[in-house]
Structure 1
């Protein structure tokens, strides 16, 4: 019997059908079945979940099921699973999520190659924005890489000996944020942490019944505030205090301050929840901040976040509401220049900035040698009558492009970085702008591999002044219907597939259709007519289709009323050529050739005796030498001589 490389631990409670939806991804791994085990721990389910689990275990020798009295939270079941685990590594999975088919094999190999204590696999999710943590694969790092704090969910691989050596366990009972406590403790202890970003390992998707959303977070029984205090103290105990804004302890605590504390003082929560209930959360957050968070954490926040923190710490709930109302109206604008194909990549210049609710740019005002926040944004916010100083406009500011695989929910990062800088806006004002160049390589973007067939949308994420937004990359101002839907650049042959860039209907967002998933090569993708010149029997250059050292692409065309299997093949000068078969069973004559879902011909096929004589471009006019040869060929005397010669 082979040694167990990985133990997959899955806590379940009243899961029902979701057990059956998750199980195939666990049992269909590329890692051989006798090299990993799946350990289900049922937390006292009262529905048919136990029966479903026993059925799975009966059919798969590497599956085991354990039961326990209901504890009310995943911590105790995970701990029980660890006690039964025999694998060299432990991978935690929730019962309503799925793994990529090669996840365990890739994670294990990455862990062994780097002797890692913890391996963080790329997550694809509909529950959160893309994490820049997964931009690059990292062989080894430590807690000094504070971007690790972007990922505190338990869905990671841990070396079992490391877990046992340090006595790492989840808090048990109804203990909300048990995953933050376990994972942050592991980060503090780990000597080597690896990140696998070139393969989607874990799919964390929103359930159709909303069951995997954490509800009732502030139920006193769950202990949100005491638990958060415990996690804060754990981070403080494991690091050295410092007044330096960029000291490790302050950088680690920044995540908890920004996400768990300031969420109580900003949109959408402070504007969405019942005001009386939200005031209680606001006061609880204030108490925890004043008692546990060093001043350097607040001082290290970007300008707007620092203003929120100021309002929170002085207990000004109404002021925080007013600020949230102003900031809620701020939108990001993502503009992209005319895309074009360059060395196999779709490239374009991009610009990102922030707009106020009235559609005008959010600006910084220079006064007395200092920068101040846009006064229009601060109208009515207490304590800002004389303005709010922006000590460092670039504090924690960044902008990045991301490409979403619409079918698979995978997010990928194109090559290159965007630069954030101040751009003059007249009269002593400037705006923060992220700018750079999109470089989308369809053959390498997916972790060095080709993107899958389907539609891939281009987005951007910006974090400026403490405002973070996801934004569609459009050719207009981002308002619905701004740019007309249609082709964004000419089609290209890449990796043996057709790549069709286009602007989406309504939003005008840049998208790339690979393999004609939704779009079709037709007159709207052509942009220009096919070449008029005849260059070889049965083949015609299409100058609007770029060829990037690709294999031929099969395409079904219509010649008159007949469907014909044709090919687009790489041609000279970087263009593709349309090639039809030598035999076409049509009457003699000149027949229009149309591409799928198109009405306008891209060529004409000249056919005689069921054979293709040549292709002509649609701009062809009668009266040229080619037409003269046709006339000669139709002369009766010439045909009679040819028959006698056996031709």
Structure 2
């Protein structure tokens, strides 16, 4: 008996079917069967199914004599299922890599619940990916529960394919799909309300394809009237189970919202049928109305409903018009930014970091040092929204981007410190000083060098970027490599300031970090930090180069694997493709959301990275670094790099997972050769990082005081130690 039975109904999907089946058969977890149901498809889908069944015994094909529709095609597959758990996969969707293993592990962990709900992502025909907007519901609890204990589970999309069902539970309750559109509704509500044990998996296990054309529920048809019969079935089920009577008000409201949503969509119903659809919805709403429930818009006529809709549209259009007027006024105000009279405020410093996301990176280090040694300077942070502002310490003065106060302060500030460019509307006033800190030592092509890399500059206006860089007065550098690159990549009239990287002061000076304690990392564990960068050769930027669970297991019980994805991937679907679930299960620690990367670096005993600039910062700690370069050729071809990091590496280089695993199993990651390579690398790329970079910026660039230049590291050829020689 297999662990899983996957039922895959097929109709007119020959263009997507192979990708769907491959996503199942290529899973690392192998204990499953596929029951593919050919719903009398007029295209080549049936032949494709037979082809797969001929070469893989796990695939069984049912050819139906007539087309019965999606729900009854699933029903046809149910009697043939022998697995412990059922999964339903639509034949134009795909499983994500490792999905079945994650589902199997979570089922075992929760003692085989009746239903396991997992996450999904919408994948669009134009290449975009968007995670389920209610993903946080799946991480609300780690325990097994009922729908009554966590009713928010019913707010998720009412679909059948984001769940695994215990087959005995389905059989005992006789759950089946009805005919018609919206067949998932009278399946999902009874199943979820009747389940005694529900568990969740906070991992994207399925890619829900958003087809440009061909989505049944997006077509204009009277078949959308089926939704009424589907909800009637839901209420009949509740009436036959008195213990569920308390759910009637919720279901009544849900039904009304669902039906009105269909009515509001411009492409669902023929125009002549909309009045009839409203009347039938209102009849159903009144028929199943719980005591005390308001009828709302469904208590009136279709004409009154349309008047309300029109009034709402006019209000929205008026709101949009008002918004356009406000934006135009703001644009005029921004264009007028440099014109206010009066002298610059010599003590006002405007800070921003990571596109206005709060106290981070080099600007934060400069700000803190300025508060310490130059309290007469007034530092104000520019933040993008109220949510970021709420996360700031209470004593940090801030202003919202594009607010009138921001425009006033930007026009008066003597100093502006940022690690990315200020908005284009900010015009540099004569006498103001712009300090650009950058965001690390460059390995990948940037600025004007991207003009020869069209894939890497997708959506990036390089000429506009350079016009913004024209405002820089000082460009901070941590080494002469950076100095040369910035002057080439940004051909503008700034001066290079050999200050070092302010955010790296804490790495040079050392110091305690609370990271290990906050994440419960046992004392004595070797912390391995894996910090990959994003890729330009795939949309979205995320490519899973390493099986994280396997790597964590291979490292051994006395190691903790910490993972930090590129900052650009913090809010995207990448973490939902397994990282969040591995973190929850204690297999790895997900540090992607940590705002201060320095805390993570201080906690790590060794860094494993590919082409991330974090290696240049981490080298200041003089701890082992391993470069995992399994796609170096593709990366350099798509993005371009300023040096061959595989030839000038800060430590050993692995080009396959097997090589990486051997480095750690043998201890080679911290041998004498690793130390020698690191010493040479540190001497070149940590050249001006002496622990006083932030002080140097404040004293020399903000206060105009003299200060000795940074010391320069020179490696000792024999021992590989660092010596200091003054510049």
Question: Which TM-score tier does this pair reach, normalised by the shorter chain?
Answer: 0.5 to 0.7
- Equivalent position of 2:2 in the other structure: 4
Structure (1 or 2) with the greater helix fraction: 2
- Equivalent position of 1:366 in the other structure: none
Cα distance change on mapping 1:517 and 1:310 into 2, 3 Å: same
Q: Aligned to 2:232, what secondary structure does the other structure show?
A: helix
Cα distance change on mapping 1:572 and 1:254 into 2, 3 Å: farther
State the alpha-carbon separation in 2 of the partners of residues 125 and 349 from structure 1: 30
Shift of 1:9: 0.8
- Equivalent position of 1:319 in the other structure: 307
- The answer as to 2:235 corresponding to 1:259 is no
State the alpha-carbon separation in 2 of the partners of residues 241 and 81 from structure 1: 29
- Equivalent position of 2:44 in the other structure: 48
Match of 1:201 among 199, 205, 209: 205
State the alpha-carbon separation in 1 of the partners of residues 91 and 108 from structure 2: 26
State the alpha-carbon separation in 2 of the partners of residues 188 and 114 from structure 1: 19
State the alpha-carbon separation in 2 of the partners of residues 80 and 491 from structure 1: 60
- The answer as to 2:78 corresponding to 1:82 is yes
Equivalent residue pairs, number:
427
Match of 1:142 among 128, 140, 146: 146
State the alpha-carbon separation in 1 of the partners of residues 313 and 307 from structure 2: 10
Match of 1:27 among 25, 28, 31: 25
Match of 1:340 among 358, 373, 398: 358
- Equivalent position of 2:96 in the other structure: 100
State the alpha-carbon separation in 2 of the partners of residues 98 and 533 from structure 1: 46
Match of 2:474 among 529, 535, 539: 529
Q: Aligned to 2:62, what secondary structure does the other structure show?
A: strand
Cα distance change on mapping 1:213 and 1:535 into 2, 3 Å: same
Q: Aligned to 1:158, what secondary structure does the other structure show?
A: strand
State the alpha-carbon separation in 2 of the partners of residues 217 and 78 from structure 1: 23
Task: Tell me which of the two structures has the higher relative contact order, counting C-alpha pairs closer than 8 angstroms and 6 or more residues apart.
Answer: 2
Match of 2:118 among 121, 126, 134: 121
Cα distance change on mapping 1:183 and 1:129 into 2, 3 Å: same
| Aligned ranges 1:485-634 → 2 under 5 Å | 529-531=474-476, 541-543=500-502, 548=598, 549-550=600-601, 551=607, 568-570=616-618
Cα distance change on mapping 1:298 and 1:572 into 2, 3 Å: farther
- The answer as to 2:152 corresponding to 1:152 is no
Q: Which whole-Å deviations, capped at 9, do the CAs of 1:16-62 have from their partners, x for residues lacking one?
A: 1211121221111121x2x1111111111222111111111222221
Q: Which runs of no fewer than 5 residues in structure 2 stay unpaired?
A: 125-129, 328-351, 365-380, 394-399, 404-421, 427-433, 447-455, 484-497, 505-595, 602-606, 622-639, 644-682, 713-727
TM-score (norm 2): 0.49
State the alpha-carbon separation in 2 of the partners of residues 180 and 130 from structure 1: 18
- Equivalent position of 1:359 in the other structure: none
State the alpha-carbon separation in 1 of the partners of residues 266 and 37 from structure 2: 34
| Aligned ranges 1:176-575 → 2 under 5 Å | 176-197=181-202, 199-211=203-215, 213-216=217-220, 218-219=222-223, 223-238=226-241, 248-261=247-260, 263-264=262-263, 267-269=264-266, 275-294=271-290, 296-298=292-294, 306=296, 308-311=297-300, 316-326=304-314, 328-329=316-317, 338-342=356-360, 436-437=390-391, 475-476=401-402, 484=424, 529-531=474-476, 541-543=500-502, 548=598, 549-550=600-601, 551=607, 568-570=616-618
Q: Aligned to 1:29, what secondary structure does the other structure show?
A: coil
Shift of 1:89: 0.4
Q: Aligned to 2:356, what secondary structure does the other structure show?
A: coil
- Equivalent position of 1:164 in the other structure: 171
Q: Which whole-Å deviations, capped at 9, do the CAs of 1:297-353 have from their partners, x for residues lacking one?
A: 447xxxxxx5x44545x86244233234235435699x9993134599x9996758x
Cα distance change on mapping 1:53 and 1:122 into 2, 3 Å: same
- Equivalent position of 1:415 in the other structure: none
State the alpha-carbon separation in 2 of the partners of residues 316 and 10 from structure 1: 44
Q: Aligned to 1:51, what secondary structure does the other structure show?
A: helix
State the alpha-carbon separation in 1 of the partners of residues 24 and 59 from structure 2: 10
State the alpha-carbon separation in 2 of the partners of residues 49 and 250 from structure 1: 43
Cα distance change on mapping 1:311 and 1:4 into 2, 3 Å: same
State the alpha-carbon separation in 2 of the partners of residues 278 and 180 from structure 1: 21
Q: Which whole-Å deviations, capped at 9, do the CAs of 1:416-450 have from their partners, x for residues lacking one?
A: xx7xxxxxxxxxxxxxxx995499xxxxxxxxxxx
Shift of 1:143: 2.0
Contact 1:119 1:193 (C-alpha < 8 Å) held by counterparts:
yes
- Deviation larger for 319-328 or 545-554: 545-554
- Deviation larger for 286-295 or 177-186: 286-295
Contact 2:479 2:685 (C-alpha < 8 Å) held by counterparts:
no
Q: Aligned to 2:66, what secondary structure does the other structure show?
A: coil
Shift of 1:129: 8.2
Shift of 1:626: 8.4
- Equivalent position of 2:14 in the other structure: 16
State the alpha-carbon separation in 2 of the partners of residues 109 and 88 from structure 1: 14
- Equivalent position of 1:508 in the other structure: none
- Equivalent position of 1:638 in the other structure: none
Shift of 1:157: 0.6
Shift of 1:553: 6.9
- Equivalent position of 2:370 in the other structure: none
Contact 1:537 1:614 (C-alpha < 8 Å) held by counterparts:
no
The CA RMSD measured in Å over matched residues stands at 5.4
Structure (1 or 2) with the greater strand fraction: 1
Cα distance change on mapping 1:273 and 1:208 into 2, 3 Å: closer
State the alpha-carbon separation in 1 of the partners of residues 205 and 461 from structure 2: 32
TM-score (norm 1): 0.54
Q: Which runs of no fewer than 5 residues in structure 1 stay unpaired?
A: 300-305, 353-417, 419-433, 440-473, 501-514, 557-564, 574-593, 598-610, 630-647
